[in-house]
Structures are given as C-alpha cells and as structure tokens.
Amino acid sequence: VIASGTTMRVVRAGPRPDCHDIANGVDTDLFRPHASPLRREQGWADDDKIVVFVARFQAVKNHSMLLEAFRQLVDMEPTARLVLAGSGPLESSMRKQCAAQGIAARVDFLGEVPFRRVADLYAVADLNAISSDYESFSFVALEGMASALPLVATATDWVPTLIGGSGASPGEVPGGIVVPKGAARPMAEAMAYLLRDSEAARRKGAWNRQRVVRDFGWKVSAGKLLNVYQSLAHGID
C-alpha cells in the first residue's frame, strides 16, 4: 500500500501502519526559475509585485479570504498585483467581490492556464499564496516552491510541512510564512513582509527550490516507488 500527504497519515493510523510514503512528484526541470514572457504579454508593469494563486474556484480554496487579505495588502503595498489561475463555480462571485472591494484593477483572472504556461506564471511571480481551508497534498505548493518562490500558506497541516513547518502551527518557517486558516489580516501582513524584504523572499525561495529538488522531483518519487517494487520482488524470490 502506498499513499502521500494526509492520506498516507490516515492510512498509517488506521488499517495499514505499513503504508509506504511515496510523495507525489513535480517536474523540477519545467518548474524552475527562468525567463518568462508572461509579464510583457499580460501588460503587467515592471514594478508590479505579483502574488499568484493557482486553484479551482471552490469553497475549500477560500478565495474570498485571500481577496480580503489582498485588499488590505494593497493599502500597504500599492504595486501588489494578485493573479488567479483556474476556473470554477465561485469565479463569478469572486469577480463581484473584487469590484465591491475596489481592487478589480489589481486582480487578474486568467482562467484555465495550459500546464506549461503555469510554469511561466510562477517564473514572473514574486510570491505564491495558498488560502485553502484544506489541502491533502498540494501540487501548486510544490510547483511554486520548485520555481523558487516563497510561500504564504494557511495552516492546513500538510502544506506547512512542505516549507519546513510543523503542521498546523502558524509562524515563519524556512520556506515562507504559515498563517491561521481564514485569517485575512495575518495573511496580508505576511505577504507584505515578503514583498518588502527581497532578501528574505530570495532566501526562502531558494530553500524551497532545494527542498523540492531533493525530496519531491519526479526522479526522487520514481526511485522510492522502484524501491518498493524491488523489495516486493525480492520477497517473492
């Protein structure tokens, strides 16, 4: 039995304590720092500080809280720009929220973005944000980390561990900042801190890149899976 993320923990705590932890992997050759044309193509200013969130528009992702945090962020950092990639049933209401809060000019809804273009999006971003109330693993966290972005994430148990945290405990960690779930003000302040302190952002982004290459690249995950099959084959022999 193999699993990853919170599913692995649940299975180990239940019927199969021998469950193998085989993490999902990401393509660290695709998701990496690189020159990207997306800023020019989208008409974003050179001094725009881009915060990105790639997620389906559904309740568990809590875009509403992120938009409120961004409204507060713009008061602190007027050049901040929020870029949302994805689609879903709540997109229309989130657009209305942007208009009502007076931030529509600073928020871009990109819709569904081709997979390789997501890598280009991360490459022009300054910060990756995850506002979810629950995440079982989070590919978008790993993709942003592989792109050397610092991460501001809610305390969804598993995601904080990816950036060096202890699970549900808020606070600054090697790869970013963990904030309480549903808490707009702490998220706004965390985003402002990392957008203002370029050295802290660079350091955390570099830590994230090293972490993903070491522990979550495709070759690493494939190697762990191969080891499981080899151990089974030897047992059969």
Dist. CA 188–CA 203, nearest whole Å: 20
pLDDT 10s digits, 152-175: 999 998 899 999 998 678 999 999
Please measure the distance between the N-terminal and C-terminal CA atoms of the chain and give it in whole angstroms.
Answer: 20
What three-state secondary structure class fits 152?
strand
Q: Which of 183, 32, 205, 27 is nearest to 128 (CA)?
A: 205
pLDDT 10s digits, 171-227: 999 999 999 999 999 999 999 999 999 999 999 999 999 999 999 999 999 999 999
Of residues 208 and 234, which shows the higher confidence score? 208
pLDDT 10s digits, 16-33: 999 998 988 999 999 999
Q: What is the DSSP letter of 217?
A: B
Looking at the DSSP bridge assignments, the partners of residue 24 are none
pLDDT 10s digits, 66-97: 999 999 999 999 999 999 999 999 999 999 99
Dist. CA 154–CA 174, nearest whole Å: 15
